[in-house]
Amino acid sequence: MSKKASSKTNITRVPEHTVEIITNSGEGAQKCAQIFGQTCAKMGNGVWTVEIIPAEIEPPHHTVTSTSGNIIRFGTERVSNWGDQSKLAVAFNEQVCLSRHRLGSFDDNCIILQESAWENHEDEAVRDNYAKAMEEMSSKNYRFIQVPIEEETLKLVDNPQLGKNMFALGLLTEIYQRDLAVVEKQIGHIFRHKAASVTEINVELVKHGIAWARKNLGFQFEIESVVAQEARVVMNGNQAAALGAIAAGMEICAMYPITPATSVSHELSDIFENYGGMVHQAEDEIAAAGVALGASYGGKVALTVTSGPGMALKTEFLALAVMVEIPLVVLDVQRGGPSTGLPTKVEQSDLLAALYAQPGDAPRVVLAPRSIEDCFHSMITARRIAETFRCLVIVLTDANLASGVQQFTRPDFDARWQQNPVDVSPLPEGLRPYDWDPETGMSRRVIPGTPSGQHTVTGLAHDEESRVSYDPESNERGCKMRSRKLAVFQSTLMPPPVYGDEKGDLLVVGWGSTQGAIEEAVDRVRAEECKVSSCQLTFLSPLEPDLKKIFGRFKKVMTVEINYSDTVGDPYITEETRRYGQLAWLLRAHTLIDIDCWTSCPGQPLRPKDIYNSIVKNIEIGVSK
């Protein structure tokens, strides 16, 4: 470790820190952050990183819209979410800094290492903008440290655009006492496809940043780490889902590009064929669903990947999958809506659409991974359910999981996950295409090629022989059998665990990616002796068992969700007119309990402190402490 700091160096020990690297897009913040995050993970810290992505591909430089970067939260313990505000930032100009300030991203006492080239720039307009930005930010107690990032970088390279990020990495390496050997290894890995000289110059730049920091900064943070005993991996949720799809034995992914789901198909396109799989980029999301369904009809393990607007287009096909009982897995990486909404940003607002958007009654399984690790394992679970129950399984992740990076226990692959999906043994005499077991609604799947199994599947109402039948009994039987399967599946589920005490004043209920932030907020209120617990749901259709029982042990139940709900007291909004958050809506109907909700849709993951505040407010209004 670069612990050779001079005796004058002021070392502060902290359990965790959140750091931002913010630049114009194209200045390499992602690489710097990737290496830094990987280094922290390798050194045994818990890590969560979040990307800051500008809306356009090439926004004008040195403006508030050009901000591109990364937030890295790391600590001694496991980190499950992006946390609250950043304690330290490296900013390549004051405008990107200002944009983060306006979003409330910095802690009041944030240390900001800022490029010094702008304050006294020869161009008056640049100086003016700088002064205005600094004036606006003076409302907070930020500690600005001017760093000649560009000037120092130019000492080693001709084009500072291709080197400032590594100098910045050097600053962070010194400030956080990172192991230079690990940093060097990561640099080597990232540039492994380039000439060795590229790695060398980048390492030199990092060393130069370390030396500069050591000479000029005089402070360091010490964050202890515990090297994990078990093997671990670190990746983002879309990578985890893509690798999960392969580990689950999936064979075809049909898709149409849509943010933030697309990178799943990038991962797969790169390697899927080595595993006997393929990505089919269809002409639209409807066709993608159709190709996946057609492939599954043929006996392949098929997946289609999309986000909200694409889900809307797939609706008719998803209902067909339910009707013909052909297994299909759909991954919906949720983004902000409605319509094109917030393409790169997080929201949990496809829940009710995932459950109910379809003509007629089309029961399906909907599950929501709660962590990056879950993104991997959910694909295996989803395939298993889809095939066992001949049903549609929708996996709801979101932009937070898609690009968030976290480490998790390296999975043990199981050859059984790769099993051929269909029983191709000869058909028992007289077996019908929908030979529903009246008790369970389950029936054997027959794929083309099976001798004597010929039949025509149809999206029209049909009988056991798959013959079109419009008579009342056939239709009611079909509806019942398709629904019964869900009840059978539900009977295999465990009640969701409660985080905290089994009973108390307030139960916070969340679903999917918000688990980390909710539990962190619950920890904080519990530290203040409040009787608050939380419960994170994974299965949304069918819901996990015993919810009513679990909820009944609390004086008040409240959902926390990243979607819209009305606030009572706003113009026209009363208890009667109020529209609830989507999970709250669902749980109210399911349990007949008067469940409240606290939701927000800022296009960002929830912060523990905001959840904390809403909990505290609810305890104050709703239940006595």
Partner 1 sequence: MSSIAVSLLDCEFDESKCLEADDYQTRVGKWCAGCGDFGALNAVKRLLAKEQLQPEKMAFVSGIGCSSRFPHYVNAYGFHGIHGRALPIATGLKLARPELDVFVVMGDGDCTSIGAGHWIHATRYNPNMTVLLLDNNIYGLTKNQTSPTTPEGYASNTSPRGSVLPALDPLQATLGVSNASFVAQTADWVPAHLYATLQAAYDHNGFSFIRILQRCPKFTPDVFDDAIKNPDHVELLVHADGVDAPGLEKLFKARREHNPKDLDEARALAQRSDLLRLGIFFKDDSFPVYDEIRAVSPVSAEEKINKLEKEFDRYGV
Which residues bind to partner 1, rule: CB under 8 A? Answer: 38, 41-42, 228, 231-235, 239, 243, 246-247, 249, 251-252, 254, 271, 273-278, 280, 282-284, 286-300, 302, 316-317, 320, 324, 407, 410-411, 413, 415, 418-419, 448-460, 467-468
Q: For partner 1, which is the closer residue by CB, 223 or 595?
A: 223
- Least Å distance, CB 424 to partner 1, is 11
- Least Å distance, CB 380 to partner 1, is 12
Q: Which residues contact 416 (CB under 8 A, 6 or more apart)?
A: none
Q: For partner 1, which is the closer residue by CB, 41 or 562?
A: 41
> For residue 444, what is the DSSP state?
-
Query: In whole angstroms, what is the distance from residue 446 CA to residue 577 CA?
Result: 49
| Token pair belonging to 120 | 């006294």
Task: Supply angle C-alpha 620, 347, 30, rounded to 5.
Answer: 115
For residue 357, which of 306, 399, 281, 291 has the smallest C-alpha distance? 306
Tokens 């099976």, residue located: 450
For residue 111, which of 4, 12, 30 has the smallest C-alpha distance? 12
- Least Å distance, CB 254 to partner 1, is 7
Q: 155 vs 152, 174, 208, CA distance in Å?
A: 5, 19, 9
Burial class (CB in 10 A: 0-12, 13-18, 19+), 578: middle
Q: For partner 1, which is the closer residue by CB, 274 or 624?
A: 274
Residues 563 and 581 sit within 8 Å (Cβ to Cβ): yes
| Token pair belonging to 102 | 């306006």
- Count the alpha carbons within 13 Å of 3 in the hemisphere toward its beta carbon: 6
- Least Å distance, CB 278 to partner 1, is 6
For residue 507, which of 586, 401, 576, 587 has the smallest C-alpha distance? 587
Q: For partner 1, which is the closer residue by CB, 444 or 555?
A: 444
Q: For partner 1, which is the closer residue by CB, 288 or 329?
A: 288
- Least Å distance, CB 290 to partner 1, is 3
Q: For partner 1, which is the closer residue by CB, 32 or 303?
A: 303
| Sign of the four-CA dihedral 599, 603, 607, 613 | negative
| Token pair belonging to 12 | 């502060």
| Token pair belonging to 76 | 């001694």
Query: Would you state the torsion angle of the CA atoms of residues 361, 365, 370, 373, taken in this order, to the nearest 10 degrees?
Result: -150
- Least Å distance, CB 237 to partner 1, is 13
Tokens 């996950």, residue located: 417
Residues 562 and 348 sit within 8 Å (Cβ to Cβ): yes
Q: For partner 1, which is the closer residue by CB, 53 or 234?
A: 234
- Least Å distance, CB 415 to partner 1, is 4
- Least Å distance, CB 3 to partner 1, is 22
Greatest Cα-to-Cα distance within the chain, rounded to the nearest angstrom: 89
Q: For partner 1, which is the closer residue by CB, 124 or 412?
A: 412
> For residue 315, what is the DSSP state?
H
Strands 405-409 and 232-236: antiparallel
Q: For partner 1, which is the closer residue by CB, 221 or 317?
A: 317
Q: For partner 1, which is the closer residue by CB, 283 or 439?
A: 283
Q: For partner 1, which is the closer residue by CB, 187 or 292?
A: 292
- Least Å distance, CB 233 to partner 1, is 4
- Least Å distance, CB 310 to partner 1, is 14
